[in-house]
Amino acid sequence: MRRLDQLIASLGYCSRSEVRDLIADERLTVHGEPAEGPNQKVTAAEVRLDDAPLDHPDGLLLVLHKPLGLVCSHDGREGPSIYTLLPDRWRR
């Protein structure tokens, strides 16, 4: 079990301080109830953000058929990157 703010931040959704805003807006729920606070002890399976489950805490494996014209590089000088297709939080 981990603190709610640490879990959300480690998965790249937002910073630990921004978790307080998610809690205040009742966007984070634990077992279907609004989260109590950033220091609440939880597991990823118990938490939902905007009524959607969290990404798996052990990471994701993404299989992508690379579109023509995109490169597999983080270096912007090489051209448009496949990483622009991913959600921001996955790139963090």
Which distant-in-sequence residues (6+ apart) come within 8 Å of 36 by Cβ?
Answer: 30
pLDDT tens by residue, 74-90: 898 999 999 999 887 77
pLDDT, mean over the chain = 90
Question: What is the rounded distance in angstroms from the CA atom of residue 59 to the CA atom of residue 65?
Answer: 20
- Paired tokens of 43: 């597991």
Question: What is the rounded distance in angstroms from the CA atom of residue 57 to the CA atom of residue 82?
Answer: 23
What predicted TM-score, i.e. pTM, was given to this entire model? Answer: 0.67
